[in-house]
Amino acid sequence: MSETDSARPADVMRPKHVGAPIKRSEDPRLLTGNGEYTADRKPDRALHVAFRRSERPHARIVRVDVEQARASAGVVAVFSADDLSGDFNPVIPTSRMPNYYATPITPLAVGKVRYVGEAVVAVVAESRYEAEDAVELIEIEYEPLGAASDCEANCEAGAPLLHEAAGTNVLIAREFKKGDVGADLAAAHVRVGGRFQMTRKAGLAMEPRSYSAEFEARREAITLYTSSNVPGIVRDAISDALDLPGTRLRVIAPDVGGSFGSKGSLYPEEIFICLAAKKLRRSVKWTADRLEDISSSSQAFAEIVQAEMGFDANGVAVALEADVTGDVGAYSIYPWTCGLEPVQVVSFLPGPYRIRSYRGAVKGVATTKPPTGPYRGVGRPISTFVAERLMDMGARALGLDPLEIRRRNLVRDDEFPYRIASGIIWDKTAFLECLEAAARTADYEALRKRQAEARREGRYLGIGLASYAELTGIGSRIAVAPGMPINTGSETAKIRIDSTGAITAAFGVASHGQGLETTLAQIIADDLGARFEDIRVVQGDSGAVPMSTGTYASRSAVLGGGAAKHASLALREKMKRVASHLLEASVADIDLTGGRAVVIGTDKAVSFRQIAKAVYSDMKTLPVEAREELEASYTYDPINGTTAAATHLAMVEVDVATCVVKVLDYVVAEDCGRIINPMIVDGQVHGGVAQGIGAALYEELVYDDEGQLLTASLVDYVAPSAVEIPDMRIVHVESESAAAGGFRGMGEGGTIGAPAAIANAIADALASFDIDISVLPATPERLFRLIQKSKNAKGI
């Protein structure tokens, strides 16, 4: 940008917000019960919805009897799919990917049910209690269609089909190739491999999904309040589904209680609630209970990976091959498609390493479970788990230390930009520095000594490393999900100074806990020269900017931050021009800082408020042509996006009697570019790692062979509590990216590195048993079986 005046004396004095641990603007309201989440909305005379959900995994709907429910106290309407046909256009998650079948999304199940938890009938009543009473009175007759919950069995000929029109359960298939993998593997000095599995997880935001469609009769308009992190995507999709223009459909995500991706897709209930509000001309509300949230929100991961890696005699990885089977659930999710999660596994499998040849094939297979969708890390927690296990297995086979084998394989500084086999390009990022910083901070040698001492005492300690790279802040040249037709590559900021001098900055991003109201205001404060407390950030509102999508894929600091920077600098020039009139000085001599325009080197100054009054209210001070509206808008597109990277190091102890794993130490060395707010960055790492530890040790959605969910409560689905998560130490290696501001995205990384680091640490702790950690979570039961098997094999 044109701002090259950073060495000027006035700038040296300027308070810097970017880089400072500024306390969050969001906190006072959230700490005092003054936040407003969707379930807190109280629209006038609202109706309440309860859904009758399928208790069958795969069945034809033969008959639905709702007569008793219709007659129940307080019931206003009861809808099944037949009552809605013709009232909406199905939403189709299209893609330019070949070998892909897009399953249509409808508000209620049509003709058959495909998972336990799928909504079949909706009751609308004067209260939630009455709606739930009526749901109990609905009778549904089903005809079973055969078990289809196993993704591998569902690929076989003769397996029951979830979508007959697709002609197969394989909804997506893709392959990446580089070089001659067969020849390189055959020539490799050492080959390691295995069958790896990352089981299905729940996103489990603490706020269950919640929607409030608020009807305004005067304008025949609906405002949907939604616990979504993609309100812009939801607005555009429902506009198409219900033929409502943007002037009559606004979608707002108010305070959102976490998402981690699980609120990042369009949901059938969002379509239903808007449709019901439109049909009934009343406001309509629904909030999931935890059972509904676990059994009908998009789920995570669920892949089986058969992989092999070959190394030369020096420990250099030469070839990598993988076949990935993704258990994508019953539907392809909008807008990301069922390809998002499993395709990303093969896209990112080579990771931050130089690997000469690669073949990665993926199949996404329909099963009778809720759809998989985005979840923190998307694909990369699995690709990193597999690649990092293979690195450690290679190191062991070659007699190398895990630290050393990574030194030999990470892309080096002089090799950037580096294109990996799937076509992803890593821009210059501190891969090796992160590895060394993690080892140094943890005092790797001391940990190895401690491990050896503990071993002599009969205790099993292990150290696990995991290095990864991810693509963040993705611009328009790359689709966030493969072949997806909507633009996710740009972000708009509209910054306006009103007649009181107050600053409103509107964005299409949608914070769901990340603190974007704070971080974006920090950027604006610096680049506009404003006071932090004068800036109000508006986000999560489809009405705030013409086009928006939301917050996902570690994009908002890079794209929102870039847009904030450019728009601030444009507005800064306008402010300087006005100030030059008021202060009778040349524009070049004026600086903006702390909410004032000052003539550099003098005590002459005017406040933003005075400038605003001169432009808008006081008709004498400025010539008419100088009264420029104090507003600037900028849409930023980083084109390619930017890399972020980290190395995680975990030390664990496995109690071989109880098979319980305790995390003793955890270090993260990460490069997220220029840091906007270190306090918030650390918080994102802590939370991401905690979810990664959950994925590695505790969390698993278990479906039986028929497709019944066995872990539908928080008692059975174990999310880590304060007792299970260790204190972490975080090192920042700040290498600035080429994106505006030098930022890189970082919200997901913690979850990418932790499963691999924990798995490697457990395998290291149990090395003497010669067992492999290839299925996560590594629960006590799984570890017990592995240890027993090893003991039996060794005759112990």
- Of 107 and 373, which has the nearer Cβ to another protein? 373
Q: Which segment (238-246, 473-481, 675-683, 775-783) binds another protein by CB under 8 A? A: 675-683
Q: Which segment (349-357, 489-497, 603-611, 682-690) binds another protein by CB under 8 A? A: 682-690
In the complex, what is the shortest distance from the CB of residue 720 to another protein, in angstroms, rounded to a whole number?
8
* Backbone phi, psi, residue 108, to 5°: -130, 155
In the complex, what is the shortest distance from the CB of residue 258 to another protein, in angstroms, rounded to a whole number?
4
Q: Which segment (9-17, 24-32, 318-326, 470-478) binds another protein by CB under 8 A? A: 24-32
Task: Pick from 165, 446, 624, 715 the residue near another protein by CB under 8 A.
Answer: 715
Positive or negative, the Cα torsion across 133, 134, 139, 144?
negative
Q: Which segment (19-27, 74-82, 149-157, 338-346) binds another protein by CB under 8 A? A: 19-27
Q: Is 44 one of the binding residues for another protein (CB under 8 A)?
A: no
Q: Which residue has the tokens 């099963």?
A: 367
Q: How far apart are CA 44 and CA 41, in angstroms?
A: 10
Which residue from 95, 107, 363 is spatially nearest to 211, judged by alpha carbons? 107
In the complex, what is the shortest distance from the CB of residue 726 to another protein, in angstroms, rounded to a whole number?
8
Task: Pick from 290, 354, 455, 609 the residue near another protein by CB under 8 A.
Answer: 290
Q: Which segment (32-40, 150-158, 444-452, 534-542) binds another protein by CB under 8 A? A: 32-40
Q: Which segment (20-28, 175-183, 345-353, 608-616) binds another protein by CB under 8 A? A: 20-28
Q: Which segment (18-26, 111-119, 384-392, 612-620) binds another protein by CB under 8 A? A: 18-26
Helix and strand numbers (H, E) in the chain are 20, 29
* Backbone phi, psi, residue 761, to 5°: -65, -40
| Residues 341 and 748: beta-carbon distance below 8 Å | no
Q: How many residues bind another protein (CB under 8 A)?
A: 56
Task: Pick from 1, 13, 31, 702 the residue near another protein by CB under 8 A.
Answer: 31
| Residues 604 and 585: beta-carbon distance below 8 Å | yes
Q: How far apart are CA 529 and CA 523, in angstroms?
A: 10
Report residue 634 as tokens.
């900028």
Q: Write the Ramachandran bin of 280: left for phi over 0, alpha for psi from -120 to 50, otherwise beta.
A: alpha
> What 3-state class would DSSP assign to 15?
coil
Task: Pick from 1, 3, 9, 27 the residue near another protein by CB under 8 A.
Answer: 27
Task: Pick from 284, 644, 689, 766 the residue near another protein by CB under 8 A.
Answer: 689
Q: How far apart are CA 28 and CA 114, in angstroms?
A: 44
In the complex, what is the shortest distance from the CB of residue 261 to another protein, in angstroms, rounded to a whole number?
12
Residues 123-152 that bind another protein (CB under 8 A): 129
As a whole number of Å, the CA-based R_g of the chain is 28
- Of 257 and 641, which has the nearer Cβ to another protein? 257
- Of 87 and 682, which has the nearer Cβ to another protein? 682
| Residues 389 and 136: beta-carbon distance below 8 Å | no
For 153-288, strand residue ranges (E) read 170-178, 190-202, 210-216, 221-226, 249-252, 284-287
- Of 4 and 32, which has the nearer Cβ to another protein? 32
Burial of 11 (0-12, 13-18, 19+ CB in 10 A): middle
DSSP state of 404: H
Residues in the chain: 796
- Of 391 and 442, which has the nearer Cβ to another protein? 442
In the complex, what is the shortest distance from the CB of residue 103 to another protein, in angstroms, rounded to a whole number?
29
Task: Pick from 687, 707, 745, 753 the residue near another protein by CB under 8 A.
Answer: 687
In the complex, what is the shortest distance from the CB of residue 733 to another protein, in angstroms, rounded to a whole number?
20
Q: How many CB atoms lie within 10 A of CB 375?
A: 28
Task: Pick from 483, 543, 683, 742 the residue near another protein by CB under 8 A.
Answer: 683
Q: How far apart are CA 411 and CA 354, in angstroms?
A: 6
For 372-421, strand residue ranges (E) read 418-419
603-612 burial by CB neighbour count: b if 16+ within 10 A, else e? ebbbebbbbb
- Of 24 and 581, which has the nearer Cβ to another protein? 24
In the complex, what is the shortest distance from the CB of residue 698 to another protein, in angstroms, rounded to a whole number?
12
Binding mask 574-613 for another protein (x = CB under 8 A): ----------------------------------------
Task: Pick from 475, 513, 562, 638 the residue near another protein by CB under 8 A.
Answer: 513
Task: Pick from 54, 542, 568, 691 the residue near another protein by CB under 8 A.
Answer: 691
- Of 27 and 781, which has the nearer Cβ to another protein? 27
In the complex, what is the shortest distance from the CB of residue 48 to another protein, in angstroms, rounded to a whole number?
10
**Helix (H) or strand (E) run with residue 69 in it:** helix 67-70
Residues 175-214 that bind another protein (CB under 8 A): 204-208
Q: Which residue has the tokens 């004095």?
A: 13
| Residues 401 and 369: beta-carbon distance below 8 Å | no
Q: How far apart are CA 198 and CA 193, in angstroms?
A: 16
Which residue from 577, 583, 565, 593 is spatially nearest to 628, judged by alpha carbons? 577
Residues at the site binding another protein, with contacts judged by CB under 8 A: 23-24, 26-37, 39-40, 42, 129, 204-208, 255-258, 260, 287, 289-290, 512-515, 679-680, 682-683, 686-691, 713-715, 719, 721-723, 725, 727-728, 750
